[in-house]
Amino acid sequence: MPPKNPHHEGNNNIELDQSEKEIKIQPEDLNIIWGEDNRYWNIKPGKAELLQVCWLEVTGSVRCIDPKKSYRVSFNVSFMTDAFGWGVHPLYLMLKAGKDGKVEWKKIEIKEANESVNITGDSKAQTDSTGDSRLYFGLYEVWSGKWKGGLEIHHVIVKEVQ
């Protein structure tokens, strides 16, 4: 029987330590659409394994960003030997500073599904009208409607950049 809520809800209270200027976010702390349904995802400490989905949406946020700084978000992922559905349709990395901030999209072309990849994008944080000090980010492939699987998410790094 599928769970009542098929989506995995991560930790929405992650804060960036201003003295360290970098944080490593584990896969279990991310929001993963269909993540609580074991037909689609296998999520355990330190790894989220995509079995199969036609709607890839993995998101998260970090609190306490400085609106005058820039940040880099990197998804560290790899593909299993039986990965499928990749290489035809691009992935998209989304970054947004504050709830009302400007959304920035980066198109990511995956050439072969047998490689380890860091999917990286930069964002210039700016204070939005709500005063929200979060950096929101996500990894998406929701437009093609094609099935894909065999992706492993190892962690996400959010880092202040000069």
pLDDT tier for residue 20 given thresholds of 50, 70 and 90: confident
* pLDDT, position 146: 94
Contacts of 74 (CB under 8 A, 6+ apart): 118, 119, 120, 156, 157, 159
Q: Locate tokens 């999917």: which residue?
A: 119
Over residues 50-72, the pLDDT tens digits come to 999 999 999 999 988 777 788 88
Over residues 77-94, the pLDDT tens digits come to 988 888 999 888 899 999
pLDDT tier for residue 27 given thresholds of 50, 70 and 90: very high
| The model's pTM | 0.89
pLDDT tier for residue 138 given thresholds of 50, 70 and 90: very high
